[in-house]
Amino acid sequence: MRQEGEATRGEVIHWAPVYQAVFGPLLRRTHRAVVELAALRAGERVLDVGCGPGSLAIALKASVGPTGPVHGIDASPEMIEVARRAASKAGVDVNFQVGLAEAIPFPDGTFDLVVSQLAIHHLPDDLKPSAFVEMHRVLKSGGRCLIVDFEPPKSVPGRLVARLVIGPMMMHTNVKNYQAFLENAGFNTVETGRTRHRLLSFIRGRAASPNSAMQSHGHRR
């Protein structure tokens, strides 16, 4: 595990207050769909990877209730400060700390759910496998992983509009491309689908037990 304070090679947003002001209202509109996909039960332990300004983690906390710990990590100290202020203002007990997706600062088997929204695309391709291995590591056997990220439109007019709105870099992001990363990390019952929001799709899977993950990897060799 990396030492605390070591930087990621992924993209880190240091203009957190501006990000929150510009994108915060749009993000909050998508959280209900993410919470529904998460299918949380009271008391479950949750980790939001790449939590950004913290609004999703705060929304997830409402589903698990007072007995369900919710944690959020982000590589950006500025984002963590914004998230902590948001939780304090909302009177919600969510723990936010600086942490990397590729070196999650929690022990094995800690969580029932790991969720990440609009964060994985900030990692370079060679770091993405490590992030999914880490998500699998910190999940309990049978725990769930839910990733929500961009999926470009299929139509030519839709792609042109999306390119103008979210920029050409985002057009290379596609949730469906994460499937191999999840399966190679040991997740099973992996499925993908669209959310009710344009440009956002999801992929999710369950953490296999260590033995079944090893058998699965052995079968693929």
What is the residue-level pLDDT of the chain in tens, covering all 221 positions?
333 445 677 777 776 777 777 776 778 889 999 999 999 999 999 999 999 999 999 999 999 999 999 999 999 999 999 999 999 999 999 999 999 999 999 999 999 999 999 899 889 889 999 999 999 999 999 999 999 988 765 654 554 555 555 555 555 668 888 999 999 999 999 999 999 887 789 999 999 875 544 444 443 33
List phi, psi (to 5°) of 14. Answer: -100, -5
Q: What is the pLDDT of residue 120?
A: 92
Of 72, 71, 74, 145, which Cα lies nearest the Cα of 113? 145
On whether residue 93 sits in a domain, the answer given is yes
Integer Cα distance of 216 and 136 in angstroms = 14
Q: What is the pLDDT of residue 26?
A: 79
On whether residue 22 sits in a domain, the answer given is yes
* Three-state secondary-structure class, residue 147: strand
Enter the pTM of the model.
0.84
Q: What is the pLDDT of residue 20?
A: 78
On whether residue 7 sits in a domain, the answer given is no
Angle between helices 77-90 and 55-64 (to 10 degrees): 40
Task: Give me the domain span that covers residue 84.
Answer: 16-220
Task: Give every CB contact of residue 214 below 8 A, 6+ residues apart in sequence.
Answer: none
Q: What is the pLDDT of residue 216?
A: 44
Q: What is the pLDDT of residue 111?
A: 98
On whether residue 6 sits in a domain, the answer given is no
On whether residue 9 sits in a domain, the answer given is no
What's the domain count of the chain?
1
- Identity of the amino acid at 1: M
Provide the CATH number for the domain around residue 138: 3.40.50.150
Task: Give every CB contact of residue 78 below 8 A, 6+ residues apart in sequence.
Answer: 13, 14, 15, 16, 17
Integer Cα distance of 120 and 50 in angstroms = 8
Of 135, 162, 217, which Cα lies nearest the Cα of 184? 217
Give buried/exposed letters for 182-214 (b at 16+ CB in 10 A, else e): bbbbbbeebebeebeeebbbbbbbbbbeeeebe
On whether residue 5 sits in a domain, the answer given is no
Of 64, 124, 68, 70, which Cα lies nearest the Cα of 100? 124
On whether residue 181 sits in a domain, the answer given is yes
Q: What is the pLDDT of residue 3?
A: 37
On whether residue 4 sits in a domain, the answer given is no
For the purposes of burial, counting CB atoms within 10 Å of the CB of 111, is it exposed (0-12), middle (13-18) or buried (19 or more)?
Answer: buried
* DSSP bridge partners of 115: 48, 146
